[in-house]
Structure 1
Amino acid sequence: MNTLEKISVLEAFAEGKITSLGVNSNGVKFVSTDCYFLARELHQLEKIVIKISKSDQVLFGITADWKKQKYFLKPIGLGKNLLNELKINMDGINLHFPMHQMNPYIDLFLQELNKNTSMDPFEMERWATEEVINQRVSQLNEFVEKLRITTRSKEFCNLINNFQRSSNKNFQEGLKYIKALFTLHSRLLILRIDLGYAKSLDLLYEPDSTINHSLVRLHREKLLRYLKAQFPTVGFIWKLEYGLEKGFHYHLIVFLRGSRVQQDVNIAKKIGEQWNVITERKGVYYNCNASKSKYKYCGIGMINHHEEHLLHGLKKALLYITKVDYYVKCLLPDKGKTFGKGNMPQEPTSTVGRPRTKKGT
């Protein structure tokens, strides 16, 4: 086979790869780079800022090689971690997250770092005169104190509480929705499909102006209508994300009536192929159901209401597609939604039917 099947960064996500090379259905080569490594950097940064905010230790001092009359910066405790965080890829963050709101801890750090453009961590690790090293020590300790004063303020605490509450909302709504579906259906066939758009090599590091949010929303609406018309669909959850290299892309979870369908891999493939039809062959997709063995916690395929281990995997999948918002929230230009689900199912008034003999969700 001379060409690869449709491969995108969405597949790279599932396989833990950094980059992926492929050819779309029109034979156009494209490369997608996994920018989630930047999100992981931001996660690490948030943890360090939180630890610093809770400590009172002086993080930087001075040490010397008296024989050679050389002086060095001496990081203490969390100071070592902070020096590493000062090396964060600012250009990459600005490039990959062009329309995002950062977690308040991360945002504060980046703002303060932008105010201290002369604070070069690579330069600070080099030896210098005693006077220069003392200046570096003062600058870094003042930077740390600014972080502590701000993060301990009432205003910042309120900001963090609001941000966390907002970030957790989608996950909690999704859990409630899943529980309601299993209340009505003892067995569901669950599909997970990642949907995106191929990008040619010449547009890899540029926004694709032909794929805007209005078009992406239209494509999603058409796909959801297809799901309802072609399959015994009882529910769905979708999450829209945006990155420079991937552009707009969806994570989609589909819930089908388990008493009527079984072949999850084939159905997910049909949905992916329909996405390519809807997008006029510009789309790419990844069929997660075809790779169930790769997941430590598998929450897709056929799931009965009493199979707690599979339900746990499903919750993990939901957490995966919603947790990114805790670090970087996509802000659409038209204030559009980035998360959605089907209507909350209503419990039937009649209880006629086969009683459940095992504990449900």
Structure 2
Amino acid sequence: MYDLNDPHHPDYDTLTEDSMLSLLYSLGDTQCETNAFGMDISSPSYHYWLRDLIKVNKCLKAMARKPAFLDSERLIQSVFFGSDMVRLGSDPLLNMLQTVYTVIVTIFDPQEPMPYRPSPYAESFLWAFQQCAYLHEAGFQIPPTMTRENAEQAVMDLNNRLGAWYEYMTQPSFINQRGRNKRNGRDNCKRVHHLIDSLFACYSRLQVVRVDLSYSKDEGPWIDYETASYHREQLCGLFNTHGLFAHLLGFAWKLEWRPQKGFHYHFLFFFNGHQVRNDVMRASQIGQLWAQQITGGQGVYFSCNRKATNRYKFNACGEVAFNDIHKRKGLIKLASYLTKVDEYASMAVQGRTFQTSPAPRLPDGPRVGRPRQHPLPNFQPESI
């Protein structure tokens, strides 16, 4: 499924696969494992299993969009000419079912479950096919030979399970489950929108800093969720003690996972605009804190504040006044992007993938100081 000798593969190295495996075996304490398709791999198995799970989930979505069934007349073939024994021949849909079954049943084995969360598609596929005797034998051993009568029964069973799966995906319970991420994203967007409005109700000027915190290409595949979560907790623990965050008013973060990058965080910081001026420098300082101190050199960062004016049509980075309509609109668009639930991360972890700081409590009674000359713009979160 993943050819490490392909120069376009993200983990391609100048060493051949055989040379890399020989090197790893020679280290003695390094364990080489296999991915979902039995291929030897030289990176953490959980990283490749997750890649397989994501690819399988895409396959399930494609199958759900175009329902199809197996044709027994074309599929059943004699083992050899004149034989009474037959087997099911190669067929794109059957091959897909075998691959999906093998990956999903292995990952979500009740005896040794991996720390992943099944998507609605994977969960419904398990419901329909987990007890399928033919897929179990063909997927984990070899495609069986059988009598024609048994072959017809096997195809009928597969088609019945396909029909039940297609029907299940039209039910309100599945549709409701499928829309869970979108609903969570809308709720997250409302929370960020409320945080922004509350901050502007208390402070007339904010300094907005956006930094993407991740890991180097070499380290990314080796960073599991527990490690990434620990690093994020270490960073957040400095918000009340480190001088870099002395004037921090609020924040939001989202966890994402990508095959080439692994786990990474998008952080949005709101500083007091009257106390913090240079947003580009502040973004770089936070990134360097992550890369050097928090992750011990494993981390890298990207400052969205650097050249933000040229990079974004609606620039929300840097200084934003409460009555700056253009930048306030950019903030709302940024909130809509930041709060969309990452489907890969939602499958990769059981824990939290998004968080905001509590919104400040609005002051009781009339505001102290000179009245604002312009009303507070009333923006609504964009639909997700």
TM above 0.5 = yes
Larger radius of gyration: 2
Q: Any residues of structure 2 matched to 1:60-71 within 5 Å, and which?
A: 60-61=70-71
Residue pair 1:206, 1:245 contacting (<8 A) in 2 also: no
Q: Report the alpha carbon displacement of residue 219 of structure 1 after superposing the two structures with TM.
A: 0.8
| Paired residues for 1:1-361 under 5 Å | 18=10, 41=55, 44-45=58-59, 47-48=61-62, 51=65, 59-61=69-71, 87-88=99-100, 90=103, 94=107, 98-110=114-126, 112-116=128-132, 117-118=136-137, 134=152, 137-151=155-169, 165-166=183-184, 168-185=186-203, 187-196=205-214, 204=221, 211=227, 215-216=230-231, 218-225=233-240, 230-240=245-255, 249-279=264-294, 281-289=296-304, 290=306, 292=308, 300-302=316-318, 304=320, 305-307=324-326, 310-320=330-340, 322-324=341-343, 327-328=346-347, 330-332=349-351, 337-348=352-363, 349-350=366-367, 352-356=370-374, 359-361=377-379
Letter in 2 for 1:356: H
Q: Evaluate the alpha carbon distance shift between residue 181 and residue 99 of structure 1 in structure 2; reply closer, same or farther with a 3 A threshold.
A: farther
Shift in Å at residue 326 of structure 1? Answer: 8.2
TM-score by length of 2: 0.58
1:151: Cα distance to partner? 3.9
CA contact (8 A) 1:223 1:278 kept: no
Q: Distance in 2 between matches of 1:294 and 1:34?
A: 37
What is the deviation of 1:206? 8.2
Deviations 1:122-147 (A, max 9, x none): x99xxx99878756642442231231
Q: Deviations over 1:272-314 (max 9, x none)?
A: 1122454262441312314748967665423644126523541
TM-score, length basis structure 1:
0.61
Assess, with a 3 A threshold, how the Cα gap between structure 1 residues 297 and 73 changes in structure 2: closer, same or farther: farther
Q: Could you tell me how far apart the structure 1 residues matched to 2:184 and 2:61 are?
A: 19
Between the aligned partners of 1:200 and 1:20, the Cα distance in structure 2 is: 11
Structure 2 SS opposite 1:275: helix
Q: Secondary structure at the match of 2:339?
A: helix
Q: Is the strand fraction higher in 1 or 2?
A: 1
Provide closer, same or farther for how the CA distance between residues 167 and 109 of structure 1 changes in structure 2, counting only shifts above 3 A: farther
Does the residue aligned with 2:269 lie in a helix, a strand or coil? Answer: strand
Question: 1:45, 1:85 within 8 Å by CA — same for their partners in 2?
Answer: no
In 2, the alpha carbon distance for the partners of 1:74 and 1:63 equals 13
Query: Structure 1 residues 245, 357: closer, same or farther in 2, change over 3 A?
Result: closer
1:319 partner amino acid: T
Query: Any stretches of 5+ residues in structure 1 without a counterpart?
Result: 1-16, 22-30
Alpha-carbon contact 2:198-2:359 (below 8 Å) kept: yes
Share of identical aligned residues, percent? 19
Offset, 1:103: 2.5
Change over 3 Å in CA distance of 1:94–1:34 after alignment to 2: closer
Give the letter aligned to residue 354 of structure 1: R
Secondary structure at the residue paired with 2:240? helix
Between the two structures, name the one with larger relative contact order (CA 8 Å, sep ≥ 6): 1
Compare 215-224 and 99-108 and name the one that shifted more: 215-224
- The CA RMSD over aligned residues, in Å, is 5.3
Q: Distance in 1 between matches of 2:61 and 2:97?
A: 11
Q: CA deviation at 1:270?
A: 0.3
Q: CA, structure 1 residues 316+338, in 2 after alignment: closer, same or farther (shift >3 Å)? A: closer
Residue correspondences, number = 314
- Tell me, what secondary structure is at the counterpart of 1:60? coil
Tell me how far apart the structure 2 counterparts of residues 298 and 43 of structure 1 sit (CA, whole Å). 34
Instruction: Give, as a single letter, the amino acid of the residue that structure 1 aligns with 2:103.
Output: M
Instruction: Report the alpha carbon displacement of residue 38 of structure 1 after superposing the two structures with TM.
Output: 6.1
Structure 2 unaligned blocks of 5 or more:
1-8, 14-42, 76-80, 82-86, 380-384
| Change beyond 3 A, Cα 1:359–1:205 | closer
Cα distance in 2 between the residues matched to 1:173 and 1:85: 41
1:206, 1:244 within 8 Å by CA — same for their partners in 2?
Answer: no
- Cα deviation, residue 85, structure 1: 7.2
CA–CA distance in 2 between the matches of 1:218 and 1:107? Answer: 31
Instruction: Note if contact 2:256-2:345 (Cα within 8 Å) is conserved in structure 1.
Output: no
User: Structure 1 pair 253/150, CA: closer, same or farther in 2 (3 Å)?
Assistant: same
